[in-house]
Amino acid sequence: MWNIIFGIVFIIGGLSGKLALLGTNSGNLLALVGAGLLVWGIVQVIRARRG
């Protein structure tokens, strides 16, 4: 569940230009990491509901 929340925050922050990935100063890359976290969080929720 936390992956989904952090993923959404990273996507919004990265695309708005308010946040950037440490070491790269790239908002777009942070949004990409956020998308990965969001997808992973959704996969975890689906697996938990099936099992």
pLDDT at 2 over 90: yes
Q: d(Cα 22, Cα 14) in Å, to the nearest integer?
A: 11
39 part of a folded domain: yes
Domain tally, the chain: 1
The alpha-carbon radius of gyration of the chain (Å, integer) is 12
The contacts of residue 47 (CB under 8 Å, 6+ apart) are none
Across residues 8-18, what is the average pLDDT?
Answer: 96
Segment 8-31 shows an average pLDDT of 95
Tell me whether residue 20 is in a domain: no
Q: What is the pTM of this model?
A: 0.89
Residue 51 is assigned to a structural domain of this protein: no
Q: What was the pLDDT predicted at 1? A: 85
Report yes or no on 33 lying in a domain.
yes
> What is the pLDDT, as a whole number, of residue 3?
95
Residue 21 included in any domain: no
Query: Which residue range is the domain that position 32 belongs to?
Result: 1-14+27-46
For residue 36, being part of any structural domain is answered with: yes
